[in-house]
A and B are shown apart, each in its own frame.
Chain A
Amino acid sequence: RKEVEQDPGPFNVPEGATVAFNCTYSNSASQSFFWYRQDCRKEPKLLMSVYSSGNEDGRFTAQLNRASQYISLLIRDSKLSDSATYLCVVNPRMKTSYDKVIFGPGTSLSVIP
Chain B
Amino acid sequence: NAGVTQTPKFRVLKTGQSMTLLCAQDMNHEYMYWYRQDPGMGLRLIHYSVGEGTTAKGEVPDGYNVSRLKKQNFLLGLESAAPSQTSVYFCASNPDGSLAYGYTFGSGTRLTVV
Contact = CB atoms under 8 A, between A and B. Distances in A.
Contacts of B50: 98
Main secondary structure of the interface of A (DSSP, over half): strand
Nearest to B39: A105
A34 B98 contact: no
* Chain B interface extent, by class: 20 to 34
Interface string A15-47: 000000000000000001010100001111110
A80 B106 CA distance: 24
B102 interface: yes
B106 A43 contact: yes
Q: Pick the 6 closest A-B CB pairs, nearest first.
A: A46-B102, A103-B42, A43-B105, A103-B43, A98-B97, A105-B42
Interface residues of A, number: 24
A66 to B, nearest CB: 18
Contacts of A87: 42-43
Nearest to A8: B40
Contacts of A34: 99, 102
Nearest to A101: B99
B94 interface: yes
Contacts of B90: 43-44
